[in-house]
Amino acid sequence: MQDNQGKVIRLLLSGFECTDWDEVVIDSQIDVPADGWSMTLFNPPTGHLPQQVKAGVKAEIYYGNELVLTGIVDRLTEAVSRSGRALQITGRDMVGQLIDCSVPIKNSRQVNLSTLLEQFVLADLSSIFETVRVQDNNWLKNKVTVEPSESLYDAISKAAQVTGQFVWFDPSDGLQVGDPFKFADRNIQTLKLMRSGLDNNVISMSYEEDVSNVFNEIKILSQDGKGGAISATTTANTPYSFKRFKIVTMSDIETQAEAQAAINKIQHDNDLEAYTLTAVVPDWTVNGQVWKTGGQINLQTDVLIRANATWVVIGRTLKLSRNNGKTTELKLKRKGDWAQPLIYKEPEQKAKKTKKAKTNADLGLDEDGYGTYHEDAE
């Protein structure tokens, strides 16, 4: 069914296309692996479902001609009751397969990000992961310990973190490793919520402050390779009228620079969790394209005064319902609060001093290697 813009929500399953949907939810959260989706049709046409429509097949969701999600059908449900019949199809994007599948190893191994991506993603799962894009190649040799039964996603995420990068999935560009907000400035939108109602483009909005994990002063304690003490301290302005002091011990910090980087990361993570803006906007598109995560939002409001700031889209949920039509729920975080994982630099191994091989003369031996007698000088 076409909407007012002449576009159709299309689900493609192994070549079969369905366009009549009563309820749709397509969720995407940068900080939650695997985008989930659900599509429901009430009182579908009578008869048997086509063979292509089943759990386990590849799914592509389009809005018009724009690809919104690529994934796998996890579950298909057909239900019958007095109120009628219903068909529901749910699944996740391709990262769901990385979460479900284990790294195919029998023993604990030290591996780097390149090995995980080349051997276990682009090789074993090449049919669903055609491309992998890595923004920063500088630290790809950093290794992590991977255990048998560990999920592929956990291993890849852990290996990416020690290179200072994050992992997410893009339906058009495949598996991504890097900074999800690196190009936020290229996609800037404005949300407006004014008392006058003029030019407002927001249905509802809520602003939340949760400072239960925010501290005036944070201190990191660690030791270097020689047992020497390492510490770093940071302070911040908080709403509290009293001192809130937090000590964090980190055994893997070996230099003062690493301690400072770690404490900055902790402070950013705390601020990231503390401030959240949620907005519901009409339709699924902005400037002709479907809403995506990773973009920047400039907020203008005289209703929620404290929320006036520059935000980034960390979560986006597309919804379709009979009562509300198409809407998009945006989960926003303050720009600048996101911090990339810390780069782990393996300690440099000191070169071992090689002893010079002693000659026969040094050992008191003749040319053939036999001992010689040295008479003491009178």
How many CA within 13 A on the CB side of residue 359?
4
The pLDDT score that the predictor gives to residue 45 is 82
CA distance 11 to 67: 10
Give me the residues paired with residue 223 across strands: 229
The pLDDT score that the predictor gives to residue 24 is 97
The pLDDT score that the predictor gives to residue 157 is 95
CATH class of 184-334: alpha beta
Q: Where in the chain is the domain with CATH 3.55.50.10?
A: 97-178
Question: Regarding the domain delimited by 9-93, which CATH topology (the fold level of the hierarchy) does it fall under?
Answer: Phage tail proteins - horseshoe like beta roll fold (2.30.300)
Q: What is the pTM of this model?
A: 0.85
The pLDDT score that the predictor gives to residue 378 is 40
CATH class of 97-178: alpha beta
SS3 label, residue 123: coil
Structure tokens at 276: 């959240």
CA distance 316 to 310: 17
CA distance 289 to 97: 27
Residue 63's region, left for phi above 0, alpha for psi from -120 to 50, else beta, is: beta
Give the type of residue at 152.
L
Among 94, 77, 89, 88, residue whose Cα is nearest residue 35: 94
SS3 label, residue 160: helix
Structure tokens at 104: 């195919």
> For 140-183, what is each residue's pLDDT tens digit?
888 899 999 999 999 999 999 999 999 999 998 899 999 999 99
CA distance 107 to 215: 42
The pLDDT score that the predictor gives to residue 344 is 65
Between strands 16-18 and 9-13, the pairing is antiparallel
The pLDDT score that the predictor gives to residue 369 is 40
CA distance 249 to 233: 12
The pLDDT score that the predictor gives to residue 44 is 86
Q: Where in the chain is the domain with CATH 2.30.300.10?
A: 9-93
Sign of CA dihedral 87, 92, 94, 97: negative
Which residues have C-beta within 8 Å of that of residue 82, sequence separation ≥ 6? none
The pLDDT score that the predictor gives to residue 4 is 67
Show the low-confidence residues of the chain (pLDDT under 70). 1-2, 4, 344-378
Name the helix (H) or strand (E) containing 52: none
Structure tokens at 301: 């409001």
What is the distance, to the nearest Å, from the Cα of residue 369 to the centroid of all Cα atoms in its chain? 67
